[in-house]
Amino acid sequence: MKSYLNYWLRMIRCAIVGPPIFYIWNSLLTFLFLTGVVAYIYQFQNGLIVTNLTDQVSWGAYIANFTFLVGVAAAAVLLVFPTYVLHRDDVKDVVLLGELMAFTAITMCLMFILVDLGRPDRFTHVMPVLGRLNFPRSVLAWDVVVLNGYLFLNLHVPGYLLYMTYKGQKPNKWLYIPFVFVSIAWAVSIHTVTAFLYSGLGGRPYWNTAILAPRFLVSAFAGGPAILIIVFTLVTLFTKLKVRPQVFDMLKKIAMVFLPINMFLFGSEIYKEFYTDSVHTESMRYLFFGSHGHAMLQPYIWASIVMSFAAMAIFYIPKLRQNSKMLIFACVLAVLGIWIEKGMGLIIPGFIPTPLGDMVEYTPSVVEFFVCLGIWSFGALLFTILAKVAVAIQVGELRENS
């Protein structure tokens, strides 16, 4: 009892005490998070009328960010698989950070869902006993199950391993290895189920495509390494954990494989739509070229395509990818490209035109912007703290006997 309390107290202390740059960074994030809270209270009081959502475009920035972050969470499998299946020791150093990132991403996903609800006060309706989950008919009910399951898996495994490291004990294999293998399959399931949310709707031809789930997974494995490279560069820069070059090499290779596959799948979609040239092509025509005098999403999608190709070019030219600054630049481009393509390129055009042919455009309102920024800041803050504590335990600064 005492030693466990001690463990928590020391972790909390480690999480809130740090060098000046740590305070500056955390204060900034806390401030941005609080602006998000204020924006959300405003939305909560007035209703979703303060967003730019309409009956026609009924999902927007919140659901787009949610979808993207499910991919970020799924990307943790890129570290879990090499560590536990291929037994790579170099990746083992960072696998806990990957799992904590997945935990953070899922937490953010749940926050994005909560802020999107018209009745957040009725969240108990999706819970067992208190609620009435429409399982297995509703894919959204499946999403509730898989996301919460993944949240638990990514809390349990790193939590247990960190505690054992802290105690200086050898972890009991049976208490975490089974969960690790479940989490590998589970990572695939979260993004598949999230894609099925959209692809299962016959009334939305733009989403009603079988390659949506593969596209989601591939984009997660293309954008995931990019995010991990950025995060690990920062970890190496600011903490005592020095991520080994082999890890970066592995992530670069994964990105080099999946970035082109991602573009290929997107290209297949584009071909199918435009060559068929049916009435259902209207969403994509609107997205790329505008339609009936509406063209709000045009700059987004072209920017996304340019970013993705630029990122690919940097990854594929050895001289450029070996330059660490260029590499980071490429990673930022890849992440932004995929983020825009998921949100403005996938979620929004699904609603335009509407099933009855109405054209209503959408771009996030100021309130939506600040709520999104708030959740992103919260995520960054949460991950900073989790990573700081995890690194302190891993490098041996924080141990029971230290």
Partner 1 sequence: MDNTDKEKINQWSERVSQRVDKILDQSVERRGFLKGLLGTVGGAAAASTAAGAIASEVLPESDFSWEKFFQEHYKVMTAEDKEKVFARIETETKRKYGVDVKVRDPQALDGVKFAYGLNLSKCNGSRMCVYACMKENNQSRDPQIQYIKVIEMDIGTLNLEKGDMYYEGESVPKAGKYYLPVQCHQCDNPPCAKVCPVEATWKEKDGIVVIDYDWCIGCRYCMAACPYEARRFNFSAPKVPKEEVNPDQGYLSNRMRPKGVVEKCHFCLHRTREGKNPACMEACPTGARKFGNILDPKSEVSMILKTKRVFVLKEELNTIPSFFYYFD
Among 6, 169, 322, 324, binds partner 1 (CB under 8 A): 6
- Map residues 90-129 to x or -, x wherever contact with partner 1 holds by CB under 8 A: -----------------------x--xxxxxxxxxxx---
The number of residues that bind partner 1 (CB under 8 A) is 65
CA distance 56 to 12: 46
- Say how far apart CA 341 and CA 68 lie, in whole Å: 9
Q: Which residues, listed in sequence order, are joined to residue 291 by a DSSP beta bridge? A: 294
Q: Which amino acid is at 176?
A: Y
Rounded least distance, CB 125 to partner 1, Å: 4
Distance of closest approach, residue 299 Cβ to partner 1, in angstroms: 23
In 4-94, where do the E strands start and end? none
204 part of the interface to partner 1, by CB under 8 A: yes
Contact characters 331-350, partner 1, x per CB under 8 A: -------------------x
Is 354 a binding residue for partner 1 by CB under 8 A? The answer is yes
Kindly state the smallest distance separating residue 356's Cβ from partner 1, in Å. 5
178/200 with CB nearer partner 1:
200
- Helical axes 324-342 vs 298-316, angle rounded to 10°: 150
What is the rounded CA–CA span in Å between residue 175 and residue 396?
Answer: 22
**CB 134, min distance to partner 1, A:** 4
Nearer to partner 1 by Cβ, of 119 and 170: the residue is 119
* Burial bucket for residue 2 (CB in 10 Å: 0-12, 13-18, 19+): exposed
Q: Are 72 and 150 in contact (CB under 8 A)?
A: no
Q: Is 35 in the site for partner 1 (CB under 8 A)?
A: no
Three-state helix/strand/coil letters over 222-257: HHHHHHHHHHHHHHHHHCCCCCCHHHHHHHHHHHHH
At which residue do the structure tokens 């992440």 appear? 335
CB of 346 to partner 1, least distance (A): 13
Nearest approach, Cβ of 281 to partner 1 (angstroms)? Answer: 11
Residue with smaller CB distance to partner 1, 139 or 231 = 139
Residue 132, interface with partner 1 (CB under 8 A)?
yes
> Quick check: 317 binds partner 1 (CB under 8 A)?
no
Task: Choose, by CB under 8 A, the member of 24, 34, 38, 49 that binds partner 1.
Answer: 49
Alpha-helical regions (H) of 168-211: 173-199
Handedness of CA 85, 87, 91, 92 (dihedral sign): positive
Which x/- pattern over 57-96 shows residues binding partner 1 (rule: CB under 8 A)?
-xx-------------------------------------
Q: Applying CB under 8 A, which of residues 13, 240, 242, 253 lies at the interface with partner 1?
A: 13
| Shortest Å distance, C-beta 38 to partner 1 | 12
State the SS3 of 293-357: CECCCHHHHHHHHHHHHHHHHHHHCHHHHHCHHHHHHHHHHHHHHHHHHHHHHHHHHHHCCCCCC
> Which residues within the stretch 172-201 sit at the binding site for partner 1 (CB under 8 A)?
197-198, 200-201
> CA dist 318 to 74, 171, 273, 311, Å?
28, 41, 35, 13
In sequence order, what are the residues at sequence separation of 6 or more whose Cβ sits closer than 8 angstroms to the Cβ of residue 227? 72, 75, 101, 331, 335
What is the contact surface with partner 1 in residues (CB under 8 A)? Answer: 1-2, 5-6, 9-10, 13-14, 41, 44-49, 51, 53-56, 58-59, 113, 116-126, 131-134, 137-141, 143-144, 197-198, 200-204, 279, 282, 350-351, 353-358, 397-398, 402
